[in-house]
Amino acid sequence: MDQAAALLDYVLRLADSNLVLGQRLAECCGHAPELELDIALTNISLDLMGQARSLYQYAAELKGNGCTEDDLAYFRTEREFRNPLLVEYPNEDFAYTILRQFLFDAYNQLFYQALENSSDARLAEIARKSIKEIRYHLRFSAEWCIRLGDGTELSRQKMQTALDDLWDYTAELCTPNATDQTLLSTGIAVDLEQLKAPYFERVEEILTKATLRKPDYEPFQQGGKEGSHTEFLGHLLAELQVLQRTYPGAEW
């Protein structure tokens, strides 16, 4: 893989991750357990969408030929999306929503912190702008994990069920693929191998505080970053893309 293709793939991975997770959180808008939570989840969704837009705009420039952020968000198929599988997992209930968020935020914070040192100036700048928001997301989702894990017996059970399911999707986050390898030598990409240990350390620390049991299997699901997704993603994209696909060429 050449550097240019790898960089585009990398930027799209970051953009897609934010868009897909932002869309999942937006599903909760108007339906959260209480108004304050509704506002907080929407805030996170708005941050993620804002970051996604900066990233898509950068990717569109890399592509050239008048490509726009919306072309990339609305006219790529499920096989072309590059987000890790975790973020596309549905909101089965609030436990899934908050655990998905925590498992992602814990990774995302380490990732963006490292990305600030990327040799790609644009990515470093986006990382600098995003990191404060991401720190806040992590604080919020970690606190809610603890609250719901160490809340009532019912809430602990629901959190454990969600954790047992979602755990499988943590494998992919810190596992590099060909794209990462290509960009590592030029100092553009974050060294994911380096994040693995601190990631699981941090996650386990919060799970312990939340009185949750770390699942006793090795997580193994992979493929999102190469465009091989769960059945959930196609539905999410169908909804997200419907108007652009129905009226191609229209301006909104």
Partner 1 sequence: MTKSINIAKLEARFQAKVDAEQKIEPKDWMPEAYRKTLIRQISQHAHSEVVGMLPEGNWILRAPSLRRKVALLAKVQDEAGHGLYLYSAAETLGINRDELFEQLLTGKAKYSSIFNYPTQTWADIGTVGWLVDGAAIMNQVMLTRTSYGPYARAMVRICKEESFHQRQGYEILLALSQGTEEQRKMLQDAVNRWWWPSLMMFGPSDAESTHSAQSMAWKIKRKSNDQLRQEFVDATVRQAEYLGVTLPDPDLKWNEERGHYDFGKINWDEFWAVVKGRGPCNKNRLKTRRKAHENGAWVREAAMAHAEKRAARQKEEGIA
Q: Which residues bind partner 1 (CB under 8 A)?
A: 19, 23, 26-27, 29-39, 42-43, 45-46, 49-50, 52-53, 56, 69-70, 73-74, 93-94, 146-148, 150-152, 154-155, 158, 239-240, 242-244, 247, 249-252
Taking the C-alpha atoms of residue 159 and residue 139, their distance in angstroms, rounded to an integer, is 18
Residue closer to partner 1 by CB (options 31, 213) is 31
Residue closer to partner 1 by CB (options 12, 192) is 12
- What's the min distance (Å) between Cβ of 144 and partner 1? 8
- What's the min distance (Å) between Cβ of 52 and partner 1? 7
Left, alpha or beta for 249 (phi > 0: left; psi -120 to 50: alpha)?
Answer: left
Triad 219, 201, 49: Cα angle to 5°: 75
Residue closer to partner 1 by CB (options 191, 239) is 239
Who contacts 8 (Cβ-Cβ below 8 Å, separation ≥6)?
59, 62, 63
- What's the min distance (Å) between Cβ of 104 and partner 1? 19
Give the residue from 110, 98, 100 showing the smallest Cα distance to 140.
98
- What's the min distance (Å) between Cβ of 51 and partner 1? 11
Taking the C-alpha atoms of residue 132 and residue 144, their distance in angstroms, rounded to an integer, is 19
Residue closer to partner 1 by CB (options 163, 189) is 163
Contact 129, 143 (CB under 8 A): no
Residue closer to partner 1 by CB (options 50, 234) is 50
Taking the C-alpha atoms of residue 180 and residue 184, their distance in angstroms, rounded to an integer, is 6
- What's the min distance (Å) between Cβ of 231 and partner 1? 18
